Amino acid sequence: MTDELLVVRCRLGEREAFAELVRAWHDPVWNYVRRMLGPSRADDVAQEVWVAVVRGLPRLKEPGRFAPWLFTIARRAVADRLREEYARPEIPLEEERASADPADPVDALVESADLLAGLAGLPVREREVLVLFYLQDLSLEDCAQVCAVPVGTVKSRLSRARRMLREQLTEEGYR
């Protein structure tokens, strides 16, 4: 069953459809929150996300675009928790703008559990795009919508995140 059909059924008021929607998307949301905030706050923040989803569903204009809408809400919940850390000014690095290169060896590593642990060491903005793009399989356009930034900024953040991750893994002995 597609997300759009589930969302339409939820908007009709079918409670079972909402249960199916939660079952389908609970793990991606929970994992996103856990990777952004750590396991101790994941349950509470994930619940905040789902409560916001319940409240926002009747107003969702495009049921077919559920995933980016969901992660926009999740991102907002995470950002609320990280507001102080988020105050860090971003330094634009135009020279780092590049599309995600599937041949990059870091891309292959990104699936490994060791690397997932390394995500916690990245700054929030870089960690966020890495999680959304590689682990949640969102497109660059969807990442840009979720983060409320242009696609070029997502690319530059991805590029910077890969470089930082590579440096971090190299320091820790991964080759």
Partner 1 sequence: MNPDDMIARLSGPLSLRRRIANVVALLGGLGGALFVGLLWATEPALPGRTHLAFGALVALGLAWAGYGAWALSRRTPLFALDRVIAAWLAVAATGLLTAGTATVAVAKGTWTGMAGVTVAATLTVLAVAVLLRARADRAALLRRKRELGG
Residues that bind partner 1 (CB under 8 A): 1-2, 4-5, 8-13, 15, 18-19, 22-23, 26-27, 30, 42-43, 46-47, 50-51, 54-59, 63
In the bound state with partner 1, the residue whose beta carbon lies nearer, of 5 and 93, is 5
Distance in Å, CB of 65 to partner 1, minimum: 14
Distance in Å, CB of 46 to partner 1, minimum: 7
In the bound state with partner 1, the residue whose beta carbon lies nearer, of 46 and 115, is 46
Residue showing tokens 């990280």:
82
Distance in Å, CB of 122 to partner 1, minimum: 25
Q: What is the rounded distance in angstroms from the CA atom of residue 27 to the CA atom of residue 66?
A: 15
**Burial (0-12, 13-18, 19+ Cβ within 10 Å), 6:** buried
In the bound state with partner 1, the residue whose beta carbon lies nearer, of 58 and 89, is 58
Find out whether 4 and 63 touch, Cβ atoms under 8 Å: yes
Distance in Å, CB of 121 to partner 1, minimum: 25
Q: What is the rounded distance in angstroms from the CA atom of residue 157 to the CA atom of residue 90?
A: 10
In the bound state with partner 1, the residue whose beta carbon lies nearer, of 64 and 150, is 64
CA of 158: how far to CAs of 33, 46, 66, in Å?
Answer: 18, 24, 23
